[in-house]
């Protein structure tokens, strides 16, 4: 049996998109992927992201926010940047890690003008579902989206 692919989902604050991606990867692809998430900063776990994922049957409430610097010694196969800021600030990883950028909209930014929690949550649900679609295509989608090494 081959070893699981080690994939880091990297975002700005490790509060929403990267956490959702890690949750989906563990839930859908735990047999072939060892998933991690981190941020170039840490903003704390976003409660609306937790709620949106729970609605889909994935519990990320026990996840914690991690700075990418704490994971630099993990031998990742892929680093998937899920926002432009993380892609621009992505550090170089030792070893064979390939960096792939797959950007998703920022739910907190989209929800800023929401008139109700339900309206805000609709943005999180859309991005959650887009991330799920991407994760369902892993690991094949990484080869197609490969940007830089």
CB-based contact 7:35 (threshold 8 Å)? yes
Give mean pLDDT, residues 43-52: 95
pTM over 0.85: yes
CB-based contact 95:24 (threshold 8 Å)? no
Residue pLDDT, tens place only, 64-90:
999 999 998 999 999 999 988 877 877
Handedness of CA 103, 16, 21, 99 (dihedral sign): positive
Burial of 144 (0-12, 13-18, 19+ CB in 10 A): exposed
Domain range annotation of the chain = 5-148
CA angle 124, 118, 15 (to 5 degrees): 35
**Which residues are known catalytic residues?**
11, 83, 90
Angle between helices 17-29 and 47-55 in degrees, nearest 10: 30
* Nearest CA among 1, 10, 72 for reference residue 37: 10
Give mean pLDDT, residues 136-148: 74
The yes/no answer on whether domain 5-148 falls in CATH 3.40.50.2300 is: yes
Cis ω before 139 (30° cut-off from 0): yes
Residue pLDDT, tens place only, 18-45:
999 999 999 999 999 999 999 988 889 9
């Amino acid at each position: 049996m081959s070893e699981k692919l080690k994939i880091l989902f990297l975002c700005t604050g490790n509060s929403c998109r990267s956490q959702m991606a890690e949750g989906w990867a563990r839930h859908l692809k735990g047999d072939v992927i060892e998933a991690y998430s981190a941020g170039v900063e840490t903003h704390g776990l976003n409660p609306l992201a937790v709620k949106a994922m729970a609605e889909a049957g994935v519990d990320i409430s026990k996840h914690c926010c991690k700075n990418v610097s704490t994971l630099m010694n993990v031998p990742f196969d892929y680093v998937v940047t899920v926002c432009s800021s993380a892609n621009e600030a992505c550090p170089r990883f030792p070893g064979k890690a390939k960096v792939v950028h797959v950007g998703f909209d920022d739910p907190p930014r989209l929800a800023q003008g929401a008139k109700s929690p339900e309206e805000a949550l609709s943005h999180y649900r859309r991005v959650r579902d887009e991330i799920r679609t991407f994760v369902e295509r892993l690991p094949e989608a990484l080869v197609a989206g490969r940007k830089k090494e």
